[in-house]
Amino acid sequence: MQENEGRMEVLRFAPSPNGWLHLGHACSALFAWETARALNGRFLLRIEDIDIGRCRPEYETAIYEDLAWLGLDWEQPVRRQSEHFADYEAALKRLRDMDLVYPCFATRKEIADAIAATGIPPRNWPADPDGAPLYPGLYKDISPAERSRLMWEGRSYAWRLDTARALAKAEEIAGAPLTFIEDGEGPNGETGRCAVRPALFGDVVIARKDVPTSYHLAVTVDDAIQGITLVTRGQDLFPATYIHRMLQVLLGLHEPRYCHHRLIRDTTGRRLSKSAGDMGLRELRAAGKTPADIRRMVGF
Ligand code: GLU
């Protein structure tokens, strides 16, 4: 790991309290905590609870309990995203003022219908790195009058990034094609200075219909506000860094380095998900496993 020119390194683990922690989380949390220790740095815990419908207080309590049981400690106070919507709204406003986002009134059904209307079978429609169909551009080019009419009617809307325009603007600001520094490895062995390819995501939602932010916006703003110098997380989030790096340039935020780590898989090679109950830390603990066993299971 490259030293940070004498500055104190700041790392974080940022779980979402929408399920119980499993071995995959333990791997990520231990990776960040151990790396912070090795670099003599600080370790922060952040609760990513913007998803008001799915996050539950008992999951948050369990995060604190499970991490403490694993032997981790972290600084106080813990930043909870649901308490900072004003920060994300300010960032969204900046993007609006730069004319890089547009309101999108589309429902899931409208998007599916628009894709069906192209005659291209849905399985052949391009998907983003998370597997979601690329947005077909509905409501992107409607007139200001039409936009006002829909708002007056009370139709709910998300804010989408005009990704091509945003990338062009970010490259103009940076004066060069955008890159980020990967200290670990992406899913295809990417390392060192990596090019960003946000077009893979199409026009992403930057603020949802129900909350004035999205994962991409909140994580980028928080990593900057908290002074994170090294973002560690699973390789599944490697492509998301394309969006985050672009947002950093557009919003004038500092550039952290990144270190993506390999994902824990179950015995069939499937990536662990929140529904993989058998790998839940609570279940493993109840079955008599110790923190040392968990470290061995995740390779520490
Ligand atoms: N909250 C995200 C998750 O639980 C992680 C965000 C990140 O590390 O960038 O998957």
Strands of 257-261's sheet in order across: 192-195, 179-182, 257-261, 230-234
Which pLDDT value is given to residue 273? 60
Mutate to test the pocket of ligand 1, among 60, 79, 228, 233 (most ligand atoms within 8 A of CB): 233
Residues with CB under 6 A from ligand 1: 14-16, 48, 219, 233, 237
Choosing among 3.40.50.10800, 3.30.450.40, 3.40.250.10, 3.40.50.620, the CATH entry for 1-83+264-300 is 3.40.50.620
Choosing among 3.40.50.300, 1.10.3720.10, 2.70.70.10, 3.90.800.10, the CATH entry for 85-226 is 3.90.800.10
Strand partners, 44: 12
| Rounded distance from Cα 14 to ligand 1 centre (Å) | 5
* Block residue for tokens 């009370």: 154
Do 75 and 36 meet the contact criterion of CB atoms below 8 Å apart?
A: no
Which pLDDT value is given to residue 74? 98
Q: Per-block average pLDDT, block size 10, for the chain (300 residues)?
A: 72 96 95 97 98 95 98 98 98 98 96 94 93 94 96 96 98 98 97 98 96 97 98 97 98 98 78 64 94 92
Do 101 and 162 meet the contact criterion of CB atoms below 8 Å apart?
A: yes
10 in helix, strand or coil? strand
Name the token pair of 219. 């994580």
Which residue type is seen at 38? A
Mutate to test the pocket of ligand 1, among 43, 48, 130 (most ligand atoms within 8 A of CB): 48
Spans of all domains in the chain: 1-83+264-300, 85-226
Which pLDDT value is given to residue 206? 98
